[in-house]
Chains A and B, each alone.
Chain A
Amino acid sequence: MTSSRSQNELPLSVYDLTVAYQRKPVLWDVGFEVPPGSLVGVVGPNGAGKSTLLKAVLELLPKVSGQIRFFGGSYAENRHRVGYVPQRESVDWDFPIDALDVVTMGLYRQIGWFRRVNRAHRDRAMAALEQVGIADLAHRQISQLSGGQQQRTFLARALVQGADLYLMDEPFAAVDAATELAVLAVLREMKAAGKTAMVIHHDLQTVPHYFDYVLLLNMRVVAFGPTSEVFTTENLQKTYGGRLTLLEEATHAMRERGRQR
């Protein structure tokens, strides 16, 4: 019963969200509705407020105004159905723990206050590491992991939560080809399982291949919708302005997509 209900309700809907640092606005009246089972790419220039959007949605930053619903309820009610993958650079990788420890952290909320991590939890964490293809590195100190492996560790930490909606901040940033493929495979598995993911992405060329919805953001929502309709040169121009190299890349991507059809 719950599963049929969860398929109809929107995993994430944002209305009139405004966020400001001090008095400088970062996001203006941002609104969109993420359909269930979709992979949404969030693109926009540096400083467009992409990370801020994710953080504000997760109530990590105070918002000036706006309404945010997760599965039709508040974030506090549906936190257990939401997984977050922060930027890799947001933590100190010199911390004295191993990869398995990091992944287990995804279960801490389920484990609850003061309880110990037990074998069953570690097994689940191991399975998540397996899913991202680095189970053999489970006991390696995290500073000895490569950038891509660290990214996969973060992804595994979110996966182990078994959430229905995932918010990811640049999981494809500065990773090796193998990691890119592994992350993509995980995204596709999620989609196949009816889960939803909203992913901040920087590589315009791959947007049409990776995501079926796209949110073009530059302090405000320039466009949001199915990639095939919204990811156009015109919209990209509105998003990125006169940054020619980026536009050329995008046009190239458009042409590629045209050829594939």
Chain B
Amino acid sequence: MTFNACPLLEAASLFKQGWSPEWFCSWLGLPDELWRVLSLRDYNTRVVVFGTALLGAAAGVIGSFALLRKRALLGDALSHAMLPGIAVAYLISVLLGQEGKSLPLLLLGATLSGLLGTCCVLGIRQWTKLKEDAALSIVLSVFFGAGVALLGIVQQTTRGHAAGLESFIFGKASALAVEDAWVIFGGGLCCVLLVILFFKEWKLLCFDETFAASSGWPVLGLDWLMMLLIVLISVIGLQAVGLVLMIALLVIPPAAARFWTDQLRTMVWLAGALGCVSSFGGAIVSALLPRLPSGAMIVLFAGAMFLLSFLLGTRRGILFQAWQSWRLQQRVQRQHLLRAMFELSELQAAGAASSVGQPAPVSRERLQGMRSWSKRQLATEINRAVTAGLVIPLSSDQLRLTAAGQQMASKLVHQHRLWELYLITHAEQAPSKVDRDADQMEHVLTPEMIARLERLLNASQQGGSVPSSPHPILPPPETERIGGEQA
């Protein structure tokens, strides 16, 4: 794409002349066709795209529950099991002498055979000792195989070749008629409304089926209703997404949403939004390039959403987690440095009793002995603290805490010692409550508890703002005497 020598000027002139979208598109060098689709000016495109988008939203919403109920693969077997039903329904409609394909009949066939497949899975699981995955694989492959065989027969019939039943396998949104889109719209809306209605009940069912049953909820009925909704979504999604990839629309958006939240409500609606965006994108691309099956496009969009969530999700995204653990590490390192400096200068002040107001300077060498940190680690940490204005280097060896550093360090040491004392005095309940993040103390312990700990600490305090440590501070070798006295 070539840009004007001065795009900014050009862009500014946009506002002057009152810019039109067509103009913008041609300015970007995009074909008019794209704009025609993107602007959804075409009634047909508009209905199809919005229908598919709502399908994606509904699938994401009900898919969240399917995923949490661990029914994802059952949904896959179900949609694959629809193929023989479609073929049989077509053959029947031909036998009845109907012209062309009758969509309601085909969808009815799909539903019945999908349900039959589901029943087979449940039956195999119930009456044999086979595990669920085996039952699912058997049903999925046998039904799909039967479907492919029946499709072969359909192809042999006179008009069968032109029926375009293959579009049910991979989806072809562009083949959707306006009425079909309305069916999708209605089905999707119905599904979303039912989820709103049964939200609480399904939440309980998915989390703890046994408890739900023991408190008198009709677990089986709720389960079947959920299953029926999955069937409904799969059936209405047949034309747009296709039966092979329908499962992606049910599973990927909820799985992606889980990376962003720990709340079911947020997860369900976010999954709906992600499914909606994926379907919207897939339908648009497929409308632009009719050779690309819309099912595949939708799944690719959903996959991109998943990848993004997997990396960046604010709850479980791996980059986010890595960043958080890096930040935690940085914070802990800084706390170590400040505490070590504070405790060292405290020891020196106790020895010399000279410095008034300012904390005593500390040598790098002795800092080195306070913890098991490498020379490089310590140097890096000191440099960072100097940049942050918490520490001043006095000479190549001597360091001192600044006023801000001193304040922060004294607070840290204070909290740290309170926590240690809490661990000692309340050993039984402490391990579950102690939070390394000292700032959090007030959130975890009651004010009375903190006050009590303060009193305990103050009892052993000889003066100054920070109570002394409940255990001897690991002293550097040459101050052993002072440390010993303190203990």
Contacts and interface: CB of A to CB of B under 8 A. Distances in A.
Report whether chain A binds chain B.
yes
Interface in A36-89: 55, 58, 60, 76, 79, 82, 84, 86
A105 B208 contact: yes
Main secondary structure of the interface of B (DSSP, over half): helix
A97 B207 contact: yes
Given A117-B200, A178-B432, A60 B214 contact: yes
Interface string A149-173: 1000000010001000000000000
Interface residues of A, number: 38
A21 B245 CA distance: 39
B206 A86 contact: no
Contacts of A11: none
Contacts of B200: 108, 111, 114-117
A86 B263 CA distance: 23
A60 B213 contact: yes
Interface string B201-230: 101101110110111110000000000000
A233 B211 CA distance: 36
B190 to A, nearest CB: 16
Contacts of B208: 86, 90-91, 105
B262 A105 contact: no
Contacts of B463: none
Interface in A92-115: 92, 95-98, 101-102, 105-106, 108-109, 111, 113-115
A222 to B, nearest CB: 26
Interface residues of B, number: 30
Interface in B249-286: 258, 261-264, 267
Greatest chain B CB density within 10 A among A92, A101, A108, A157 is at A108
A235 interface: no
Contacts of B432: 146, 148-149, 176, 178
Contacts of B211: 84, 86, 105, 157
A128 B281 CA distance: 47
B195 to A, nearest CB: 12
Given A91-B207, A111-B200, A96 B213 contact: no
Contacts of A234: none
Contacts of B207: 91-92, 95, 97, 102, 105
Contacts of B203: 97, 101, 105
A259 B215 CA distance: 43
Contacts of B217: 108-109
B8 interface: no
B444 interface: yes
Contacts of B68: 95-96
B64 to A, nearest CB: 9
Nearest to A116: B200
A136 interface: yes
Interface string B428-457: 110111000000000110000000000000
Of B203, B258, B262, B429, most buried by chain A (CB within 10 Å of CB) is: B262
Contacts of A120: none
A149 B216 CA distance: 26
A214 B429 CA distance: 30
A246 B396 CA distance: 67
B6 interface: no
A176 B429 CA distance: 9
Contacts of B443: 136
Given A60-B210, A90-B208, A178 B429 contact: yes
A111 to B, nearest CB: 7
A16 to B, nearest CB: 22
B220 to A, nearest CB: 12
B24 to A, nearest CB: 41
Interface string A111-147: 1011111000000000000000000100001000010
A177 interface: yes
B197 interface: yes
Nearest to B268: A96
A225 to B, nearest CB: 27
A208 B207 CA distance: 35
A96 B215 contact: no
A96 B258 contact: yes
A81 to B, nearest CB: 12
Nearest to B64: A96
A141 B262 contact: yes
A82 B322 CA distance: 46
Contact of A97 (B198, B201, B210, B264): B264
A109 B216 contact: yes
Contacts of A76: 216
Nearest to B267: A96
Given A84-B215, A115-B200, 7 more contacts: A58-B214, A79-B215, A96-B258, A101-B203, A108-B217, A141-B262, A157-B211
11 contacts: A79-B216, A92-B207, A95-B206, A96-B264, A98-B263, A105-B211, A113-B201, A114-B200, A136-B443, A149-B432, A178-B429
A-B complex: 7 closest residue pairs judged by Cβ atoms: A141-B262, A84-B214, A178-B429, A109-B215, A58-B214, A96-B264, A91-B208
Interface of A: 55, 58, 60, 76, 79, 82, 84, 86, 90-92, 95-98, 101-102, 105-106, 108-109, 111, 113-117, 136, 141, 146, 148-149, 157, 161, 176-178, 181
